[in-house]
Amino acid sequence: MNEYIEIKFDGGIADKHQVSVRDLGRSLVHLQSAMDRAYLDVKHGKVWKHARLSGVKAFQETALIVGEPEKGSYLLKMFQSPDGKKGTIKRIAKALTAPFKAAQNEAAVLGYSLENQIANTRNALHHKQIAVRKFADLVKEPDEAIVRVYGDRSISKEVDQILIAVRKNPGVKLTLTFEEGGKSIFEFDAKTAAAFHRLVSHRALGGPVLYRGELRSLDRGPKQHRNYKGRFINADNGKTVTLHIFSQEDYDFLAPHIRTGDFDIIAAPIIEHDAFDPVGGDIQFLGLSKK
């Protein structure tokens, strides 16, 4: 078994060559999740939101075998199983390369807050400065702002969860090594981990799209005065997506339409880390269609 993933903790949380179950457990769970997302991307040529492994073979092909802890602050190596699918570990390293380099260079996250983007898009729609696309056109020709495949975002978000312990503990370092036909090493300190988080969690709105479907539910959340969510069944593909609802006024516009059949809304794809799954990605409510 020559293919492996190695995780190394340095600093305070690895005192006496030991780490807490919480920090290690979270790291292993999200490394396995990154492995699963990479496997789906390699196998199908893409990975979609909420996709999960199915069948015994898929779990065999994504298994990581934990080796003995090695000397160091705390170093653990996980080997790909003999049944592992080729290219999976390499796919994780590929997804991390661009955001890691940007984080090292402290690349700025450009753009306005989501609230300002919603207001600007609505103003442009009101003054007919931008056109509303059909959903079928979005699938065929994705928004120009979506420059990264969704698999990269999906994998990077899992690794970002591993870095929580690093971001919260100055002086701690975490090194991830991926070996499959070549070695890729990513070393994170608190500063790099924080920059990585800003990059992979940044959200932006795509252009407005006409969606037709049924509003299955609305959820105000506990003691929230805005940023509600709904579940919207897209009539074009039968997929249920999360519909983000910014204000109480928006919520009141939508409430009469719960489970009343198909109707038209204008919404914008929520692009995270320059990626969006057009089939099942989250969308931001902008208004009811006047057609």
Pairing of strands 183-188, 64-66: unpaired
Per-residue DSSP letter, 62 = T
**Higher pLDDT pick, 140 / 158:** 158
Mean predicted lDDT score pLDDT of the chain: 88
Mean pLDDT confidence for 116-138: 92
Mean pLDDT confidence for 171-175: 90
Domain 114-146+204-288 grouped into CATH 2.40.50: yes
CA distances (Å), 96 to each of 37, 91, 206, in order?
A: 13, 9, 23
What is the C-alpha separation between 31 and 92, in angstroms, rounded? 9
pTM of the model as a whole:
0.78
CB contact burial 139-176 (16+ within 10 A = b; e otherwise): eeebbebbebbbbbbbbbbbbbbbbbbbbebeebbbbb
Is a pLDDT exceeding 90 seen at residue 35? yes
Q: What are the residue ranges spanned by the domains of the chain?
A: 4-108+150-203, 114-146+204-288
Is a pLDDT exceeding 90 seen at residue 244? yes
What is the C-alpha separation between 80 and 96, in angstroms, rounded? 19
